[in-house]
């Protein structure tokens, strides 16, 4: 029989075959000398006594041989009981432990073993009792404290038990003791820190994590635990710094993956791309890291690279529905709508009732102009995600608002004003910020339909219901201005100024109101105030955009171009400037190649923006590329069927390509929309031009149809 050097070694080193053979031949087990010594060392040494004629009774000495014999049997029964789930063997194991303890009552190893057996068998109450009894005898017995701590951890469950709070505090108490007994144990400090985190004691959690960090500064678990703590506290930049503090070459794949996730939340896609790439390089089989990389590439505008990553994922697993859904989203954003639809249909064969798939399907139908299919899909999605009890989690509420907002947009595109209003009103019922967003949607739906009175009434009602919401008050101010009450509108808008950086948006609204009433000087002065609050490049670019529009409305085209180009220097991908400048150049027949290039970028940024589509179509028209012009103009008309300028452009293209009858229809529709437009949007000169083109087309058509 193999000799062992300690009680702990004896727990695992006995060869079962040899042990059973020894029992079979009736041999007596001999306890090695070192084990006996280890056992004796656990007993307190009695103080020396002076010699007397009467000797006190000698206490019974532990019977190590018998103890070891029963302990060996107990371990065999224990392992078999746990492996096979046999209660009879469990009972035998317990009996053998008790017999072993009778032979050696003060053995910490045996007492801890029995307590651990109770724990493994799920007899928690007895495990706690045994462990506590051992701790009462030996307060510094680490194994007993750890067992008791494990019992309390197990009892925590999912945190829904009414006693979970008590168990959490009990677990914390045990691990506080363990940390004192094992001050240099990283795992103990980590676990104690996590327990403090569960108890919402961030300060103590941080202290424990920092203690672990001192012991092992580059420990993966330590670094990730500290970063997680800061993330949960909402301090994402600090969480990122914790991981960034580890040298790049020393970071694990998990560290880079966690860092990338933090960058995602910080809206730093370029940094996220770098971190995800590092994670993939360290762990090429990590599909989650590849998904994150593809999403970050997409968020940073690198669509082609993102598509390659999804292609790799699908190459390894063609049945990966999630990758198909994301691949389809990229295809849609790149304008490959039919391809995106086919990809989503493939994904549909792999999964059912997938919310993301259904929503993306609705977006593709919308992009294809299949409004009825999009509306049907969104309504089915809204029905499927309605909570049975009518109670929404924050996530449920956010998703429902997203679906209702998209439904409202598609209904507006389909000229279903009442249905759009109904969707936005349902969104308002979600409360909070969704109430304001829904109210704004109602106003926009009425404006699209040129129902100015209804828009004004809706804005007034919302302003009354939400008197402290600045956005709602500014929306009402715009409607007042459109109704001719400019001074009242300016007064209401100015009342929203708060002396904070948020005033920048208020100044933009005031500038808009002044521009629509041709108060150019006032608009310019207000923009000076907005510029003083602009600190970031994109904020300054927005001021330049407004200055450009003010100049263009005054027909100061050279000055407008200077302002627009100033904005593009600050923010090269600022789509509103690309659209406005590109259209202005195209309208004047200048720098058409540059205009087309800018407008293509704007359309790529927002492929379904009717204004962008119209601008690009008009630039193609000016270049003489009539087929492209017609394609993009019809896409624009699909989304802005009530816009007189879009209809006028479509008439021009139809007339140029010999479709006089269609041109006449478009110009008639254009004039009808001008008739219901607001005065600032219906320049008499523009109306006169359309009227002249309509009359000329009628004359030409009469000549064409005249009998020969």
Q: Can you give the pLDDT at residue 151?
A: 75
Q: What six digits make up the tokens of 621?
A: 């028209």
Q: What is the mean pLDDT of the chain?
A: 85
Average pLDDT for 578-588: 96
d(CA 354, CA 325): 10
d(CA 277, CA 117): 47
CB 296 within 8 A of CB 288: no
Torsions phi, psi of 699, nearest 5?
-65, -45
Q: Give CA angle at 78 (75, 84), nearest 5°.
A: 140
pLDDT digits (tens, 9 = 90+) for 418-466: 999 999 999 999 999 999 999 999 999 999 999 999 999 999 999 999 9
Q: How far is CA 152 from CA 80, 156, 164, 175, 626, in A?
A: 25, 6, 9, 10, 76
d(CA 211, CA 556): 67
The band of 129, judged by pLDDT with boundaries at 50, 70 and 90, is: confident
Element (H, E) at 644: helix 644-656
The band of 136, judged by pLDDT with boundaries at 50, 70 and 90, is: confident
Q: Is the pLDDT of residue 4 over 80?
A: no
Q: How far is CA 313 from CA 165, 221, 284, 306, 325, in A?
A: 43, 28, 11, 11, 12
The band of 115, judged by pLDDT with boundaries at 50, 70 and 90, is: low
CB 424 within 8 A of CB 385: no
pLDDT digits (tens, 9 = 90+) for 175-218: 888 888 888 888 888 888 888 888 888 888 888 888 888 888 87
Helices (H), 610-656: 610-623, 626-639, 644-656
Count how many Cα atoms sit within 13 Å of the Cα of residue 569 in the half-sphere of its side chain.
7
pLDDT digits (tens, 9 = 90+) for 40-65: 333 332 333 333 444 444 455 777 78
Pick from 256, 196, 176, 195: nearest CA to 223? 256
Q: Is the pLDDT of residue 7 over 50?
A: no
pLDDT digits (tens, 9 = 90+) for 64-106: 788 788 888 878 877 887 788 788 887 877 778 778 777 777 7
Q: Can you give the pLDDT at residue 59?
A: 52
Pick from 605, 643, 337: nearest CA to 618? 643
Three-state DSSP class for residue 350: coil
Domain ranges of the chain: 641-708
Which stretches of 36-189 are assigned E, i.e. beta strand? none
Q: Can you give the pLDDT at residue 157?
A: 59
How far is the first Cα of the chain from the last one, in angstroms, to the nearest whole number?
122
Top pLDDT among 154 and 468 is at 468
Q: What is the pTM of this model?
A: 0.72
CB 207 within 8 A of CB 191: no
Out of 27-31, 357-361, 566-570, pick the least confident. 27-31
Q: Can you give the pLDDT at residue 30?
A: 29
Q: Is the pLDDT of residue 278 over 90?
A: yes
Gyration radius (Cα) of the chain, Å: 38
pLDDT digits (tens, 9 = 90+) for 518-533: 999 999 999 999 999 9
Q: What percent of the chain has pLDDT over 70?
A: 89
Count how many Cα atoms sit within 13 Å of the Cα of residue 637 in the half-sphere of its side chain.
22
pLDDT digits (tens, 9 = 90+) for 384-418: 999 888 888 888 999 999 999 999 999 999 999 99
Out of 96-100, 354-358, 394-398, 563-567, pick the least confident. 96-100
Q: Is the pLDDT of residue 22 over 70?
A: no
Give the DSSP letter of residue 29. P
CB 64 within 8 A of CB 35: yes
């Amino acid at each position: 029989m193999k000799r062992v050097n300690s009680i702990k070694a004896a727990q695992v080193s006995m060869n079962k075959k040899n042990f059973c053979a020894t029992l079979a031949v009736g041999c007596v087990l001999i306890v090695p000398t070192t084990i006996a010594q280890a056992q004796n060392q656990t007993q307190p040494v009695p103080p020396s006594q002076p010699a007397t004629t009467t000797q006190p009774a000698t206490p019974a000495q532990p019977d190590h041989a018998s103890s070891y014999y029963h302990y060996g049997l107990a371990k065999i029964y224990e392992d078999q009981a746990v492996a096979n789930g046999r209660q009879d063997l469990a009972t035998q194991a317990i009996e053998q432990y008790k017999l072993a303890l009778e032979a050696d009552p003060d053995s910490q190893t045996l007492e801890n073993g029995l307590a651990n057996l109770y724990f493994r068998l799920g007899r928690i109450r007895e495990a706690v009792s045994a462990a506590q009894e051992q701790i009462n005898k030996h307060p510094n017995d680490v194994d007993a404290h750890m067992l008791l701590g494990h019992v309390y951890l197990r009892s925590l469950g999912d945190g829904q038990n009414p006693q979970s709070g008590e168990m959490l505090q009990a677990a914390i108490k045990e691990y506080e003791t363990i940390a004192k007994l094992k001050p240099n144990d990283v795992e103990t400090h980590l676990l104690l820190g996590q327990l403090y985190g569960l108890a919402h004691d961030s300060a103590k959690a941080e202290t424990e994590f920092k203690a672990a960090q001192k012991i092992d500064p580059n420990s993966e678990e330590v670094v990730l635990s500290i970063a997680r703590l800061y993330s949960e506290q909402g301090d994402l930049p600090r969480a990122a710094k914790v991981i960034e503090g580890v040298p790049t070459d020393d970071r694990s794949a998990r560290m880079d993956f966690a860092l990338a996730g933090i960058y995602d939340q910080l809206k730093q896609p370029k940094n996220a791309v770098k971190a995800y790439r590092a994670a993939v390089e360290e762990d090429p089989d990590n599909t989650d890291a590849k998904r994150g990389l593809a999403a970050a590439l997409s968020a940073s505008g690198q669509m082609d690279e993102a598509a390659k990553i999804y292609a790799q994922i699908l190459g390894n697993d063609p049945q990966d529905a999630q990758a198909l859904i994301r691949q389809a989203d990229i295809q849609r954003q790149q304008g490959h709508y039919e391809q995106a639809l086919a990809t989503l249909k493939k994904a549909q064969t792999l999964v059912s009732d997938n919310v993301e798939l259904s929503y993306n399907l609705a977006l593709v139908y919308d992009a294809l102009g299949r409004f009825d299919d999009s509306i049907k899909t969104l309504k089915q999605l809204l029905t499927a995600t309605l909570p049975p009890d009518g109670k929404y989690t924050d996530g449920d509420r956010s998703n429902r608002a997203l679906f209702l907002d998209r439904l409202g947009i598609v209904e507006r595109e389909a000229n279903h004003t009442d249905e759009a209003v109904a969707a936005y009103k349902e969104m308002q019922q979600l409360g909070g910020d969704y109430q304001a967003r829904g109210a704004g949607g109602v106003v926009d739906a009425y404006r699209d339909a040129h129902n100015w009175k209804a828009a004004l009434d809706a804005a007034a009602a919302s302003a009354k219901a939400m008197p402290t919401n600045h956005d709602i008050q500014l929306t009402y101010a715009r409607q007042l201005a459109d109704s001719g009450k400019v001074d009242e509108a300016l007064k209401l808008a100015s009342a929203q100024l708060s002396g904070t950086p948020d005033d920048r948006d208020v100044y933009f609204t005031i500038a808009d109101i002044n521009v629509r009433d041709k108060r150019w000087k006032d608009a310019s002065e207000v923009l000076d105030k907005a510029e003083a609050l602009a600190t970031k490049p994109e904020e300054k670019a927005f001021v330049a955009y407004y200055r450009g529009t003010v100049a263009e409305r005054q027909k100061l085209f050279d000055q407008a171009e200077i302002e627009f180009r100033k904005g593009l220097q600050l923010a090269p991908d600022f789509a509103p400037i690309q659209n406005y400048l590109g259209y202005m150049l195209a309208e004047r027949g200048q720098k058409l190649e540059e205009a087309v290039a800018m407008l293509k970028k704007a359309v790529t940024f927002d492929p379904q923006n009717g204004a962008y589509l119209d601008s690009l179509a008009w630039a193609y028209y000016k270049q003489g590329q009539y087929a492209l012009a017609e394609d993009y103009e019809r896409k624009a008309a699909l989304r802005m069927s009530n816009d007189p300028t879009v209809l006028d452009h479509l008439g021009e293209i139809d007339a140029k390509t010999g479709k006089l009858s269609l041109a006449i229809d478009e110009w008639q529709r254009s004039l009808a929309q001008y008739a219901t437009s607001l005065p600032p949007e219906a320049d008499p000169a523009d109306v006169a031009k359309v009227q002249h083109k309509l009359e000329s087309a009628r004359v030409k058509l009469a000549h064409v149809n005249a009998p020969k």
